[in-house]
């Protein structure tokens, strides 16, 4: 899987390997997809690291798309396909996705479908993209209110992790990425959970080693189940309700949209409560999980109508089978169970639990 393609964590070494790959492969053209933010804050770093420090002159063809999840759609994809075609991209071109999860998702999707697949590299610039979105070869776009409904599984040539990009992030974006690190810890084992349990957005000194460990957890799972037959489904812990919450807030004009990690953090708390009710997940662990996440993420309020809408959105979840909404739950830390059926009454009870925290 990705590690065989040459996933690199150490910053300077990563740039050298990227430059060597571009030089040796002799691509006909090199495109870089950015949004307005990464064009300003991250593109100069790419130029400096590759063109100057590695002494490789690359003629970057820059494609700029709007920021935000609401633009992760077929309209933006079509614009990128047209731009690639107009600028002469061919099967021997390389696409570099420089940005957060939205950029790596849509950039990978566009690369995997343009001329039936061209090579691409992910350079994630947010914590969430570093530990999750850019890893594993899942690419996709949203369709209506449903997240990631159209997509491909198509691996990047490599993923370049550059920690300096974390310094460009607002605190809210940094916190959002922590949700996926919490998820990896809770589904992996007690030791991994205890490490991420101590994460503090105000003290990033431990982040570098824990980012790498989080990547390794995901890579291990992906390498064993690349097409999500079973084990890879565990990476969706907290995402069944989390995605529905994210979609609801994105579509509700009376609410501020939630970042992906903010919605997933709520989904993790709800799934852990449901795990306690259905699979006897230990109450002590439930308290640990909720206390840890609530210390980092702001509490959100949902009225009855909103919860109804969130539950209605569950019909779009990609894990569903034969019309049934299927959850990933936990027997205990590091002991997930896939394909769990959860009734609506228990989901309402989970929201009541969250409300009373």
Q: How big is the chain by its Cα radius of gyration, in Å?
A: 20
What b/e readout covers 46-60, taking b as 16+ CB neighbours within 10 angstroms? beebbeeebebebeb
By the 10 Å C-beta count (0-12 exposed, 13-18 middle, 19+ buried), 115 is classed as middle
Tokens 């079509």 belong to which residue?
78
Q: What is the pLDDT of residue 1?
A: 38
Quick count: other Cβ atoms within 10 Å of Cβ 292?
Answer: 22
Could you tell me which of 57, 51, 56, 61 has the C-alpha nearest to residue 29?
Answer: 61
Which pair of tokens denotes residue 65? 């798309």
**What pLDDT is recorded for position 5?**
54
C-alpha to C-alpha distance for 169 and 319, rounded to whole angstroms? 32
* pLDDT at residue 140, as a whole number: 97
Q: How confident is the model at residue 16 (pLDDT cuts 50, 70, 90)?
A: confident
Rounded distance between C-alpha atoms, residue 22 and residue 270, angstroms = 45
pLDDT given for residue 86 in this prediction: 98
End-to-end CA distance of the chain: 40
Average pLDDT over residues 89-98: 98
The pLDDT tens digits of the residues spanning 287-334 come to: 999 999 999 999 999 999 999 999 999 998 878 888 889 999 999 999
Domains in the chain: ranges and CATH: 2-168 (3.40.50.1970), 171-355 (1.20.1090.10)
* Residue in the structure block whose two tokens are 């609530």: 294
Q: What local confidence, expressed as pLDDT, does residue 193 receive?
A: 98
pLDDT of residue 2: 40
Of residues 23 and 141, the one with the higher pLDDT is 141
| The pLDDT value given to residue 8 | 56
Label residue 253 by pLDDT band (50, 70, 90). confident
The answer to whether residue 3 scores a pLDDT higher than 60 is no
What is the 3-state secondary structure of the chain?
CHHHHCCECCHHHHHHHHHHHHHHHCCCCEEEEEEHHHHHHCHHHHHHHHHHHCCCCCCEEEEEECCCHHHCCHHHHHHHHHHHHHCCCCCCCEEEEEECHHHHHHHHHHHHHHHHCCEEEEEECCHHHHHHHCCCCEEEEEECCEEEEEEEECCCCCEECCHHHHHHCCHHHHHHHHHHHHHHHHHHCHHHHHHHHCCECCEHHHHHHHHHHHHHHHHHHHHHCCCCCCHHHHHHCCHHHHHHHHHHHHHCCCCCCCCHHHHHHHHHHHHHHHHHHHHCCCHHHHHHHHHHHHCCCCCCCCCHHHHHHHHHHHHHCCCCECCECEEEEEEECCEEEEEEECCHHHHHHHHHHHHCC
What is the Cα–Cα distance from 143 to 50, expressed in whole angstroms?
36
Percent of the chain with pLDDT over 90: 80
Q: Which two tokens stand for residue 282?
A: 């230990």
CA dist 328 and 346 (Å) reads: 14
Per-residue tokens: 292: 């840890």
pLDDT score of 7: 62
pLDDT in tens, 148-160: 999 999 999 999 9
- Report the pLDDT value the prediction gives residue 4, as an integer from 0 to 100: 55
pLDDT of residue 10: 63
Q: How far apart are CA 72 and CA 168, in angstroms?
A: 22
Tell me the mean pLDDT in the region 1-6.
Answer: 44
Q: Give the model confidence (pLDDT) of 183-240 as tens digits.
A: 999 999 999 999 999 999 988 888 888 999 999 999 999 989 989 999 999 999 999 9
| Contact status, residue 36 vs residue 64, Cβ threshold 8 Å | yes
* Selected residue with higher pLDDT from 52 and 83: 83
| Mean pLDDT computed over every residue of the chain | 93
Q: Is it the case that residue 173 has pLDDT exceeding 80?
A: yes
pLDDT at 90 over 90: yes
């Amino acid at each position: 899987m990705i590690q065989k393609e040459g996933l690199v964590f150490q910053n300077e070494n990563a740039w050298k390997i990227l430059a060597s790959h571009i030089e040796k492969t002799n691509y006909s053209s090199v495109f870089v997809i950015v949004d307005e933010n990464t064009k300003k804050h991250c593109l100069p770093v790419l130029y400096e690291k590759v063109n100057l420090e590695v002494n490789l002159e690359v003629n970057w063809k820059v494609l700029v798309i709007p920021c935000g999840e609401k633009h992760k759609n077929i309209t933006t994809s079509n614009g990128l396909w047209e731009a690639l075609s107009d600028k002469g991209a061919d099967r021997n071109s390389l696409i570099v996705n420089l940005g957060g999860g939205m950029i790596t998702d849509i950039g990978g999707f566009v690369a995997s479908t343009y001329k039936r697949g061209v090579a691409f590299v992910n350079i994630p610039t947010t914590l969430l993209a570093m530990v999750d979105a850019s890893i594993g070869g899942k690419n996709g776009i949203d369709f209506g209110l449903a997240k990631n409904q159209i997509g491909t599984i198509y691996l990047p040539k490599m993923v370049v992790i550059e920690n300096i990009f974390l310094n460009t992030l607002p605190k809210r974006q940094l916190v959002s990425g922590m949700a996926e690190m919490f998820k990896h810890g809770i589904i992996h084992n007690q030791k991994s959970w205890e490490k991420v349990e101590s994460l503090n957005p105000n003290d990033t000194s431990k982040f570098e080693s824990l980012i790498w460990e989080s990547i390794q957890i995901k890579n291990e799972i992906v390498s064993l189940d690349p097409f999500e037959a079973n084990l890879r489904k565990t990476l969706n812990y907290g995402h069944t309700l989390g995605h529905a919450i994210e979609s609801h807030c994105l579509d509700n004009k009376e609410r501020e949209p939630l970042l992906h990690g903010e919605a997933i953090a709520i989904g993790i708390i709800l799934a852990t409560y449901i795990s306690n009710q259905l699979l006897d997940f230990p109450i002590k662990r439930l308290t640990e999980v909720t206390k840890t996440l609530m210390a980092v993420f702001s509490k959100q309020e949902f009225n009855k109508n909103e919860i109804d809408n969130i539950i209605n959105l569950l019909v779009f979840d990609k894990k569903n089978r034969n019309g049934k909404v299927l959850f990933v739950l936990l027997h205990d830390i590091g002991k997930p169970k896939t394909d769990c059926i959860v009734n609506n009454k228990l989901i309402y009870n989970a929201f009541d639990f969250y409300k009373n925290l």
